[in-house]
Amino acid sequence: MAKTPKSELELTWKDLEVGCVISNPGNACQYKTGEWRSMKPVVDKTHCIRCGVCYIFCPDMAVHKTDDGYFEADLYYCKGCGICARECFTGCITMIPEVE
């Protein structure tokens, strides 16, 4: 399937492969898993030692390294589980409530 992948909300029933086979590897990255989040991580860069323990422990690989060497969560995928805040050595990550 060389077509540009459509999002699941654009696909019609005729677009589906026989048996709903997925022939386009890695397309799970299109799923926006960050919608469920009730808390989000906020990093206080003044205390961050850029160790990357949040990056290692994030169960959804939502944390990535930025150009300046710090780490931040991609809120498209971050479910707000709080594991990064719990594991952070310096306590520089705070979970704050999401407000609409």
Binding site for another protein (CB under 8 A): 8-9, 11-23, 25, 31
Residue (12 or 66) nearer to another protein, CB: 12
Minimum distance from CB of 10 to another protein (Å)?
A: 9
d(CA 54, CA 81): 12
Q: How far is the CB of 14 from another protein (least distance, A)?
A: 7
The strand pairing partners of 20, in sequence order, are none
Please list the alpha-helical segments (H only) found in 58-95: 83-87
Report d(CA 96, CA 29) in Å as an integer: 25
**Cβ-based nearer residue to another protein, 34 or 41:** 34
Nearest distance, CB of residue 7 and another protein, angstroms: 8
Diameter of the chain measured on Cα atoms: 53
Q: Which is nearer to another protein, 2 or 99 (CB)?
A: 2
